[in-house]
Amino acid sequence: MQLTRPPSPHLRPFLRLLWASVPEGEPQTRTGAREHVLPTGGMHVVFRLSGPPLRLVDDTRDLGGHTVGYAIVGGARAAFYLRDVSVVTRSVGAQLHPGAARLLLGAPEDALSGRHTPLDALWGERQTSEALEQLHATADDPARQLDVFEALLTQRLASVALPRTSPRGLHPAVAASLGQMGRDTPASIATLVARSGYSHRRFIALFRSAIGLAPKEYARVMRFDRVLALAADDPARAWADIALAAGYSDQAHLSREFSALAGLSPQAWRQTGATSPRHVPAVDTAGQIPSRR
């Protein structure tokens, strides 16, 4: 069971979404199960409240993997990663808006992008342990978990000085470009640079610092995001139609991009029957084993 909700008004400039998951019934064990986690272009903070700590793997044959911890910051990514899901866990988390990491976590997006960072490396061991303890006290009540989580983030936000000119900590040129990139027909990177009034190099640096990805990488993930939305909305829709609607030159172009970002082909993604478009079971097939990017 998963509960999602928008944050309280005072946190909405910083958080996109809050969620809490609680396994139904007895914990299940699925030996060797792996999952593709597809990119969103954004960051998230997660607390695991049961089971083992988060463990990332290089591919479906990787039996050891790399353990991250129970409190994790997932940086912005331009491609999928693989994680161990052999044990279903309870967790609570939040998706961050661009620019919020410096205020809520104490580090800019570009310092955290492309990887998972233990939260205690940013908040300190004491504050992270206290946060975990408070969340564990909520037992299996996801609504209560979200209330406690919001209170923790509110307390964290109250401890930092918010910039007067931009409370979200987002540079105006970056904020303007994000609005233009979110349109059905997004502006080109060259157009965004020209409208910003900055040099190409300076604009790229500002954007990467705020988002964690370069503008071209972010635009690529946003176009992929449109593909997932269209495919989830109509599971029978032809991929050629989806490609054109999402802004790809043709179906072959979509297939190449999909495989690069998701680690599997569009049709393989559809055949998994995953309940979540961004959390897809990894299948170990002879001669084609996905690698983590």
Q: What pLDDT does 36 receive?
A: 93
The one-letter amino acid code at 137 reads A
Q: What pLDDT does 292 receive?
A: 40
Closest to 98 measured CA to CA, from 5, 195, 181, 198: 181
3-state secondary structure of 15: strand
3-state secondary structure 208-248: HHHHCCCHHHHHHHHHHHHHHHHHHHCCCCCHHHHHHHHCC
pLDDT in tens, 252-290: 999 999 999 999 999 999 998 878 889 999 875 433 434
pLDDT class of 291 with cuts at 50, 70, 90: very low
The per-residue pLDDT of the chain, averaged, comes to: 88
Give the helix, strand, coil percentages of the chain, each rounded to 5: 40, 20, 40
The one-letter amino acid code at 208 reads R
Q: What pLDDT does 23 receive?
A: 79
The one-letter amino acid code at 151 reads A
- Token pair in block for residue 80: 């999928």
pLDDT class of 216 with cuts at 50, 70, 90: very high
> 2-158 — its CATH code?
2.60.120
Instruction: Tell how far CA 208 is from the center of its chain.
Output: 16
Contact 171, 198 (CB under 8 A): no
| Mean pLDDT value across residues 167-192 | 82
| Mean pLDDT value across residues 75-90 | 92
Comparison of pLDDT for 292 and 146, the residue scoring more: 146
Contact 164, 140 (CB under 8 A): no
Q: What pLDDT does 166 receive?
A: 57
Q: What pLDDT does 76 receive?
A: 96
pLDDT class of 160 with cuts at 50, 70, 90: confident
Closest to 224 measured CA to CA, from 292, 187, 278, 167: 278
Cβ burial, residue 285 (10 Å; 0-12/13-18/19+):
exposed
Task: For 249, list phi and psi in degrees, rounded to 5.
Answer: -70, -35
| Mean pLDDT value across residues 167-195 | 83
pLDDT in tens, 114-140: 999 999 999 999 999 999 999 999 877
Q: What pLDDT does 92 receive?
A: 96
Comparison of pLDDT for 197 and 1, the residue scoring more: 197
**Any residues with CB less than 8 A from the CB of 183 and at least 6 apart, and which?**
none
Q: What pLDDT does 170 receive?
A: 80
